[in-house]
Structure 1
């Protein structure tokens, strides 16, 4: 037997082995979404314009200028009157929150969404193999993930993860973590819980850059049920196509543009600097350079490359391809932009060449529920479902941005037409498509000027 034959006999089994291993790993990388639930607070928790004004007036640290700034910010925030606030703030105890306040806030959001998730899917808590809970600003001992395990008496071998400090994009990070864990476990069920504790972190100082968080962040959250079990494929509503993460935290300005800190007087809060917009643009650009080639058709990628090359030749390198953008709608039909604020939504929409129709779900999610941190993307998804926009075969891009600074995005494929009930059910009729939504804060506070402030403040 010659050496060539021996090499052939050794090579073929090895090749078969590696192909089989690759196929098995690819099969385990599958990630299906079976269901998701968004938290909907009780009516007494709604933070309407009158209650917002009362909370502002309670802050004795504010002078007339700070008071006027805060009211003007609320006017332009894009927030409506039906967002939900934490109980200790609504009860006037924002300056002295307790550990019980934080735990109660988390219990209400987390257990409400999980109870609904288990009830609607018929999945038992004892069937869960992987649990990921992300809450950035609150890390008690035992962890919130352990609190969930204890409440639902989950199995002793459940893989439990508690993530903190990751900001508004933590939900997509959690999805990425679950997908990677699926590679090591067949036919698994996983839950991702995404929320944030607002009550203990209500800013009571007068630093303008730290007062902004009070105007935008609201109580809310979500729970998502995922699996890589092929026998459950027919029950899935979406399939994960790809996840891409980009981190620009090595840049000092990007790192510190969105950061938890104390002001000069010792009041703890969340600082949002003027560099936030640049950091978000930088992180999003780096992310999309990797993500878009994976989801857009080759024809569109070639068109973009040729058009950019031609423009550089005709107008010089300094043009940088300005004015020539990829047409995202050649491979994507829907866009879930993190509802972090009006400027973020409009800025992302403009840079991506999206229409008002495309950014409407994020804009209205901000208006109805506010910035609910890592849970915000799921309220945007819920709006699309309530409007019956999501059809089988459509592709949906989730765009999240958070402290670090990070941009973590993912693409889902819709597995069936979606039109189920969710947190939007009782309010969706108040949001006609492509209609201008009333701004209650503008109607009530836009008239305020320096002459009237003294009277209002008293």
Structure 2
């Protein structure tokens, strides 16, 4: 009898041990953000209104109609006059970029942001177990990831991933790579480095489908420190709840809507096709269909199902709205499962369209609008500038959820949800948030449009030979 009791006790102990090990292993599959650092370029790279017009003016391939098109695009872009451009553009060398220009642009970014991030968190570069780098439009030899490893003297066995050509949604792809690695290894520290290289990709031709990118894209980048070490969970800022990636690359119109190519004169640029809004809408709706059941309560899911059934009967979006819509209104309340919305700053129309589709308030859209105004479209890193704005405004409270959504060439729509682990706000040491130097000025009582004030007159010009600026003052 005693032997039977002993055997039962051992069996129960074994089962408890196995259950504990199973739970313990699952806990180590969590993905936490310990900290992140957005890049603030030096003030000498800031683009003023006068400089914007001057950059357009010195492109000798543009006619009057192209001048008007670009100036109109700038005026309506939602971008302010404190964004940053590559050094070679400010120096007037954009038509003759070199490989070194692109590498130096990236070096300025990662030596600043990665260095600050590691120092602030007391993490040695040799403690980094995983490095994921995504920069879409620069493929150097050695790779950018190798350059970062060499600069910071990381370990020989660091797991390295170098992503190119992934577009504006690449940072979430990088996060998913880290998340999948965390499923197989315990107590890991990962570093994600996300940016875009503009220096070798400035378009100097006159193809309208390719010159628009020059108006929106600006310098930026972000370094993100992640871990699955549960002993560090109390230090973490965010915990990943779920992620959904939608890729429509098998569809020809989706594949061809955003392509790097040469124009008829051999000048390289990014072609944005007229089908882009339709393609983005399709990817956006498909992504929402998958992630919505993961983030909303049952009552809202029922409304979602009814909405889908109604859409099958009538596929036309609701008429009568003056908004530029990315997609028709979904018709459910996403605020029942989400507290904050982190929207890719692809442009004013993108922000307006997502706001309309998800029925968001101006309060919800303000972080994206202010990020577009202050920093422009910084490609894959733009989501993190929006998140930093929310943090600087002390919006982010423990237990709340942040919904990130971004778009990219391919065509892709990626989204994820983060749970806030602790109350977040500006730190006291003057470091750590890219908005700290100017957050008190945002949002301004009214956003003036310096581009309209300075260049609105071009609409009355008839002769490209008489194109002049309102003053002869050189830019700062």
Q: Do these two structures clear the TM 0.5 threshold for a shared fold by scoring above it?
A: yes
Q: 1:394 to 1:251 in 2, by over 3 A?
A: same
Deviation string, structure 1 residues 168-221 (Cα, Å, up to 9, x no partner): 000000000000011111000001000010011000000011000000001110
- Distance, in Å, in 2 between the alignment partners of 1:120 and 1:190 is 15
Equivalent position of 1:317 in the other structure: 313
Q: Confirm or deny that 1:456 pairs with 2:456.
A: no
Other structure's SS at 1:78 match: coil
Q: Confirm or deny that 1:86 pairs with 2:92.
A: no
Equivalent position of 2:189 in the other structure: 189
Q: Confirm or deny that 1:299 pairs with 2:323.
A: no
Equivalent position of 1:268 in the other structure: 268
Equivalent position of 2:411 in the other structure: 405
TM-score when normalising by structure 1: 0.92
Equivalent position of 2:77 in the other structure: 77
Q: How large is the Cα RMSD of the aligned pairs?
A: 2.3
Tell whether the 8 Å contact from 1:64 to 1:457 is kept in structure 2 after alignment. Answer: no
Q: Structure 1: which 5+ runs fail to align?
A: 1-11
Equivalent position of 1:54 in the other structure: 54
Equivalent position of 1:251 in the other structure: 251
Question: Within 5 A, what are the aligned runs for 1:46-445?
Answer: 46-305=46-305, 317-318=313-314, 325-420=331-426, 421-432=432-443, 435-445=445-455
Q: CA deviation at 1:20?
A: 6.5
Q: CA deviation at 1:21?
A: 7.0
Q: CA deviation at 1:28?
A: 2.8
Equivalent position of 2:321 in the other structure: none
Other structure's SS at 2:467 match: helix
Q: 1:119 to 1:442 in 2, by over 3 A?
A: same
Deviation string, structure 1 residues 73-111 (Cα, Å, up to 9, x no partner): 111111110101000111010011111111100000112
Tell whether the 8 Å contact from 1:337 to 1:345 is kept in structure 2 after alignment. Answer: yes
- Distance, in Å, in 2 between the alignment partners of 1:142 and 1:324 is 46
TM-score when normalising by structure 2: 0.88
Q: CA deviation at 1:446?
A: 1.6
- Distance, in Å, in 1 between the alignment partners of 2:456 and 2:383 is 30
Q: CA deviation at 1:250?
A: 1.4
- Distance, in Å, in 2 between the alignment partners of 1:48 and 1:30 is 44
Q: CA deviation at 1:26?
A: 2.3
- Distance, in Å, in 1 between the alignment partners of 2:315 and 2:18 is 47
Q: CA deviation at 1:129?
A: 0.2
- Distance, in Å, in 2 between the alignment partners of 1:389 and 1:446 is 37
- Distance, in Å, in 2 between the alignment partners of 1:182 and 1:307 is 37
Tell whether the 8 Å contact from 2:218 to 2:378 is kept in structure 1 after alignment. Answer: yes
- Distance, in Å, in 1 between the alignment partners of 2:42 and 2:153 is 27
Number of corresponding residues: 443
- Distance, in Å, in 2 between the alignment partners of 1:108 and 1:307 is 48
Deviation string, structure 1 residues 89-139 (Cα, Å, up to 9, x no partner): 110100111111111000001121101101211111111000000000101
